[in-house]
Structures are given as C-alpha cells and as structure tokens.
Amino acid sequence: MNLIDTHAHLTFEELENRIDDVLARSIGAGVTRWITVGTDKDQNEKTLLLISRFDNLWGALGYHPHDAKEVTDADMQLLQKQLGHARIVAVGECGLDYHYMHSPAETQQHVFRQHLDIAAEVQKPVIIHTREAWDDTMAILDEYSGKLKNIVIHCYGGDKEQTRQVLDRGCYISFTGTVTFKKSNALREVAKMIPLDRLMIETDCPYISPHPVRNIRPNEPALLVHTAQCLADVYNIPLEQFAETITKTSEMFFGL
C-alpha cells in the first residue's frame, strides 16, 4: 500500500523537530508520500526548506483565512514567486473561516480572491478551507469558473446538498479523520455520494487523530491508514483497492 497524505502540516512545531521519525513511521505504515501545507509566511518558508530534504515530499503554499488581516500585497507577490518552485504543487490552504472571525469577512474574501487570481495565473491546484462560510465560498469560486486547474475542499464536513454543489462544480473532496468518528454517521453517508476519482484523504496533522486512535497526540501521517480503512469499509471494497484508486486520484490532482 502506498497512500498519499494530501494535507499535512509537517512544519508545525508538534512534528518538525522529529520529522525523520515521523516520516519513517509513515512509510512503515504504507503512507509513502506527503504534501505539507503552509499557512503563513513563516510556515511557507519552512515548507520550502523541508521539501528539499525528502524526495517523497511536496508542498503547498498559502495564507490561512485566520491570518488574512496580516497579509500584505508584498506577501502575495512573494507567494506568487514561491509558487514557481517545481516541488510546490498547489496554492493554499486558502479560503474563508467565519467560526472565530480572527480576520474580518471582507478581508478574508479579498485575500481569498488574491489566492485564486494567482492560482489561475500559475495554473496550480487550489486547496480550499471553508468553515461556517459555505455560501460565500461557493459564490467566490463561481467567479473563477473555468479559470482554475483543480479545486479540493479539504477537511470535508459538508452535508448531502453541499456535496452535490461541490461535485456539480467539478471540485474534489478530501476527508480527514473526522469521517472515522463514532458520531460521524451522516458524514459517512455523504462519502457514499462521492466517486473515487473525486476523493482524497488527509491527516491535517498534527490535528484530528482518527478513530480508534483519537487519544494519540499529535496526529501524524502514519495514522492515515485508519481513515483509509474506514472509507474502504464505507465503499465496501478491500483496503488495497481503495488505496490504489484514491492514490491515482491524488497523483492526477496534484500532478505527481
């Protein structure tokens, strides 16, 4: 089995100081490739450094909506240059998060559009973060219809109607360990709607350890196998078949 963790934060302090052990455990578990995702200026720079160390590691760069109020035009100009790196395979994560409102909604929307402008120009996939901002997220994505290469809604938690909206727009969906939780029956029903050629999985580590290892902190890529097994059961196919199919989807999406 050769799964890809399509969304990890390997430069976060919980993991970065023991990254060699973390990735060795991951390979031992059958999760052999990773995409580490930047969320601010410092994390983007750390991502560029880390991906130079490991052949099976790629990166994505962007600014989390929480930090939108801190993002300058110079930051976005730098981001566009950094996205030219051959091992940077996506823009993001970026999007809207109205849960905590660490940044005003209008500021988040402005920075989100800046990311999408750049993604349209450099023609790299976009990793979308959306929380309690569904309608605004979809409306802004619609402004860029036909202009973006690929779009994935990461850490997916949508309902059936939202899932129809995502699939109708040609977007992809990525599940974290939340789909494995005992109380996530509705989300597992949603998963049944999604074709395997539009589905990916991720840890979002160091967060969201999956069932039955939710007590393990921090989460790390090796634990992705539990999410894979859960979804293989949802689709009623062998784990190896599920893993092979979604790995092909991930390779296509990110151009690996």
pLDDT at 186: 98
Question: What would the pLDDT profile of 229-238 be if each residue is shown by its tens digit?
Answer: 999 999 999 9
Domain boundaries, position 143: 3-254
**31, 4 in Cβ contact below 8 A?**
yes
Tell me what the mean pLDDT of segment 182-189 comes to.
97
Cα-to-chain-centroid distance, residue 171:
13
Mean pLDDT in residue range 92-102: 97
Task: Please state whether the predicted TM-score (pTM) of the whole model is above 0.85.
Answer: yes
How many structural domains is the chain composed of? 1
Q: What pLDDT does residue 205 have?
A: 98
pLDDT band for 11, please (50, 70, 90 cuts).
very high
**Distance, CA of 256 to CA of 244 (rounded, Å):** 14
pLDDT for position 111: 98
Per-residue pLDDT band for 109 (boundaries 50, 70, 90) equals: very high
- The pLDDT value recorded for residue 240 is 97
- Residue 84: the pLDDT is 96
Distance CA 140, CA 197 (A): 24
**Cα–Cα distance list, 157 to 24, 37, 124, 160, 163 (Å):** 30, 19, 24, 10, 9
In this structure, what CATH number is given to the domain that contains residue 135? 3.20.20.140
Q: What's residue 2's pLDDT?
A: 94
CA-CA distance, 69 to 256, in Å (whole number)? 33
What is the 3-class SS of 87-113, one letter each residue? Answer: CEEEEEEEEEECCCCCCCHHHHHHHHH
**Predicted local confidence at residue 135, as pLDDT:** 98
Residue 17 banded pLDDT, cuts 50, 70, 90? very high
Q: What is the pLDDT of residue 63?
A: 98
Q: What is the average per-residue pLDDT within 96-112? A: 97
Q: Determine the residue type at 17.
A: N
Q: Looking at residue 14, what is its pLDDT?
A: 96
Q: Could you tell me which residues are beta bridge partners of residue 58?
A: 35
* Percent of the chain residues past pLDDT 90, beyond the cut: 100
